[in-house]
A and B are shown apart, each in its own frame.
Chain A
């Protein structure tokens, strides 16, 4: 914009200061009377200085956050192609049901006789999850994907200990989500990487070479992080089982196959399901996550407490080892209570409103959308792997070689174009990766517009038209951030500027 505004604001876009810069001493939104507490009761802990809370009136505080919220990008504002994150639409029906007071106001310590409906809902969700995955049992308490991974690996550890064996290694493919090796390490195992071959799938020979009597588990994401289905999965499961290890599946990409493939049929022993992505409500959807873990018959006895049972007296949570039914050997528990009720309601609402056929169609449409993006762009951008993809389209930086434009520049221009950037530089096995997951939420018109933008960007970069890329984003509230300085010299705390000293 050539002529700057007088205020510094630009139409609906306000130049907003930090709340600490806006605050003034002595201003407050509420009047509280002075509280007199004797020093005797504070035992010398009386506060001596100010605590630096910003002083604002209520309308000022409200405006501050409303203005900041306008700088947000959200799935409710536009296409959000962040690969691996499954930024799909949040149906408003889910939100309405999650806010029903009978669910929203449930207290985890409420007598169980008063929350039979909530427990029945959890039981119904468990039935859907075990049916969709073809697995006999599910542990509901993990709070998110990585927590579910840890739960699955701890279950495997308990099963191995119960066999009286000592197995110390967990195998993880190079392309795995970083949480996989982290979960295995956290559970006390040593992580051993299985190399990714050029075609982007697990190399059976490399896996065979790593398997042995000290291997506890093999962790696989299917479809994998390159957006490819591991078509040798049955053979992989057989190899893993033959050496006495367990087959852990990272269910982060279950949204590509839900309703079509049952992981139980693939020989999976444990898999977490990101309820908050597969069944809507991804990051920023207004609530926490939930990562239930489905378990094979071999692992089911070791599922963590609490156990939900249903008998003639109704639904009941078993909280103690002493009360568990015959055969159950829970390894312990993952958290204090029973899981994320709000996500349980949202996920079940999604399932019931879509139905089994609808869930299948959502998976198919997600795969179709990604393939439409891949097929429409692979002549101008470069795809590292041959053939169709699953729910995400992966490109590499090959098409940018010699242009002086990097993957990062490319991603930043998308901000100017009104999109959230795709996932970049992940998976690590691909140079300058750009991972696009359009999800089933987008219409063909929306995808066509998105493809047109990326296509034009790619053609401009190749034609040497670099203006758009240099220093992008140009139109965001802030220009390109210095990521290096932010990491090397982070400023984590706002400090009040030194006030000029008053004259004596």
Chain B
């Protein structure tokens, strides 16, 4: 069973069997505009919760993507190198950034559920 959790900085993390897939939300991509470049972390790198995991560059701005939960990077979405547009077309599926093996699954409880995130975005 998987569950998706969200941060106030508009990252999402979907956890399946101790591994979290991380990306940015549709709201984030709408704010950024067309994504033109994504810098991904090295596989094997350990990232603390809230630390910089990736960088996303759009026609408007370059922004950090923070790790919603801490862990060790197990995979990155190589396809974004050739086709960063995937982040816009499918932010919460094909446009994922990287996967990490969670250090502490309890950190998930500090993140927003989908319902809460939708509410949060409405208030912005």
Chain A residues at the B interface, C-beta cutoff of 8 Å? 178, 424-426, 428, 431, 483-484, 487-488
Contacts and interface: CB of A to CB of B under 8 A. Distances in A.
15 contacts: A178-B62, A424-B60, A425-B60, A425-B61, A428-B61, A428-B63, A484-B33, A484-B34, A484-B36, A484-B59, A487-B37, A487-B59, A488-B34, A488-B36, A488-B84
Nearest to B8: A195
Contacts, number: 23
Chain B interface size band reads 10 to 19
- For the complex, would chain B's binding face be called helix, strand, loop or mixed by DSSP majority? loop
Contacts of B36: 484, 487-488
A426 B34 CA distance: 16
B89 interface: no
A145 B99 CA distance: 38
Interface string B38-62: 0000000000000000000001111
A487 B85 CA distance: 11
A428 B10 CA distance: 14
B31 interface: yes
Given A431-B124, A483-B34, A488-B85, 9 more contacts: A178-B62, A425-B60, A425-B61, A428-B61, A428-B63, A431-B31, A483-B59, A484-B34, A487-B37
Interface string B62-88: 110000000000000000000011000
Interface of B: 31, 33-34, 36-37, 59-63, 84-85, 124
A425 B33 CA distance: 11
A178 B63 CA distance: 10
Contacts of B84: 488
B32 to A, nearest CB: 9
A156 to B, nearest CB: 22
A264 B12 CA distance: 44
Contacts of B85: 488
Nearest to A425: B60
B61 A426 contact: yes
A183 to B, nearest CB: 15
A426 B62 CA distance: 11
Contacts of A178: 62
Contacts of B34: 483-484, 487-488
Contacts of A424: 60
A488 B84 CA distance: 8
Nearest to B62: A178
B60 to A, nearest CB: 4
Contacts of A428: 61, 63
Nearest to A426: B61
Nearest to B60: A425
A172 to B, nearest CB: 12
A431 B59 CA distance: 15
A302 B36 CA distance: 41
Contacts of A487: 34, 36-37, 59
